[in-house]
Amino acid sequence: MTPDLVIVTPEAAPGAGGVADHTLALLKHWGRVSNFHLLVSKPAPEVAGQGAAVEPLGRTSTEIMVQLPKTNGTVFVQYSAYGYNRFGYPRELIRALVDWKKKSGGRLVIMFHEIWTFWSFTNKNFFVQQLHRRALKRLLTLCDAAFTTTSSQAEHLQRLSDAVPVHVLPVGSNISPARLGNVPRQKGLAALFGVQLSRIRALENMRKSLTSLAAAGRITKIVCLGQEHDSGAREDERKLLAALNLPDGFVQQGALSADTVSEILSTASFGIFGQSELSCTKSGSFMAYATHQLNVIADFSDAQKSPPVCWLTAAEELLAGIDQAELDRRAECLRMWQEENCSWKVIAGRLGRALAIDPLPGGA
């Protein structure tokens, strides 16, 4: 039987990556939608407990076309350029989607997690970037609905084509707050959550501000949480942490269960965010800080900017003795912003409406 809904995703194994987690969270909140299956780019997909038919995504446009609904039907694409192609230009997938849309008259909805890479004119990959942009322009003109995770990506996509509005839909948090009752937060405890290479970049980028906060006693201890890359990266992380001279030291916890991560985030005072301002709405780590009502320390914090940046905290403010009541207000505003704009209920609802999906009993 030809499926009514086909979901195309780079990966679907739990914990395999951000797009996989995003896909699984959507399926959980949509419930057991009838007659659908997943086309997965990476091998050995697992969709535990979802009851979905899963098959490897075809390599050529012809193979992919056979996997899509013949008539009417709906296709939902979790688009991540490098997730489908190691050169960052999934030409065969884009060609198949364009051909399918033209021939079938079905509904096409795309969530752009990652678009093209911005190479300079002198880079050998510049030509590939231009081909990718041209292909995405054709695809956008045929979409019934398009979403992306950041305002900057939305602007870039909208410049390619204004045939359909590109809506910003931030990612959600896969770490739900633990029910700990009135457990107090540990003064001076900061969490650094994310994959190890991202944590290392944060420690490098924020070395000056974190060193100042440690010297002033505003941050006394850092707990690193998340997947580890390898032993070499762990040692690099350890050296960066040691160089901060934290009064109470640091802990490298590595990968932990979601419940354990939540317990730590629920008792920390700060979350350290070392990515760019543009990455806030596409970072699961940032959303985990927000939903756990942490004060997020970021060098780009600016009270004059729009949410969520206006509710972050700069190292200079902590060093100047910002009032605790103001910190509490910001943390609560950030939590409310996340709940109203980036909770999985909101995300699944908006995408579900675009796909004409009504969550069935069993959805979260």
pLDDT digits (tens, 9 = 90+) for 288-314: 999 999 999 999 999 999 999 999 999
CB of 252 within 8 A of CB of 222?
no
Q: How confident is the model at residue 362 (pLDDT cuts 50, 70, 90)?
A: very low
CB of 50 within 8 A of CB of 31?
no
- Same CATH topology for 5-172+343-354 and 189-341: the answer is yes
| Distance, CA of 347 to CA of 341 (rounded, Å) | 8
| Residue that wins the pLDDT comparison between 72 and 314 | 314
Please give the CATH topology (third level) of the domain spanning 189-341.
Answer: Rossmann fold (3.40.50)
> DSSP 3-state assignment of 112?
strand
| Distance, CA of 297 to CA of 161 (rounded, Å) | 36
Determine the average pLDDT of the residues in 138-155.
95
Domain boundaries, given as residue ranges, for the chain? 5-172+343-354, 189-341
Which pLDDT value is given to residue 51?
56
Q: How confident is the model at residue 361 (pLDDT cuts 50, 70, 90)?
A: very low
Is 90 exceeded by the pLDDT of residue 72? no
Query: Mean pLDDT over all residues of the chain?
Result: 90
Name the residue among 70, 93, 12, 81 with its Cα closest to residue 46: 12
| Residue that wins the pLDDT comparison between 185 and 17 | 185
Is 60 exceeded by the pLDDT of residue 360? no
- For 198, phi then psi, to 5°, come to -70, -40
CB of 118 within 8 A of CB of 138?
no
% of the chain exceeding 70 in pLDDT: 90
For the ranges 1-5, 148-152, 193-197, 331-335, which has the lowest average pLDDT? 1-5
Judge if pTM exceeds 0.85: yes
Please give the CATH topology (third level) of the domain spanning 5-172+343-354.
Answer: Rossmann fold (3.40.50)
Which pLDDT value is given to residue 357?
79
Which pLDDT value is given to residue 296?
98
| Distance, CA of 360 to CA of 364 (rounded, Å) | 10
| Digit-coded pLDDT (tens) for 114-146 | 887 665 666 666 678 889 999 999 999 999 999
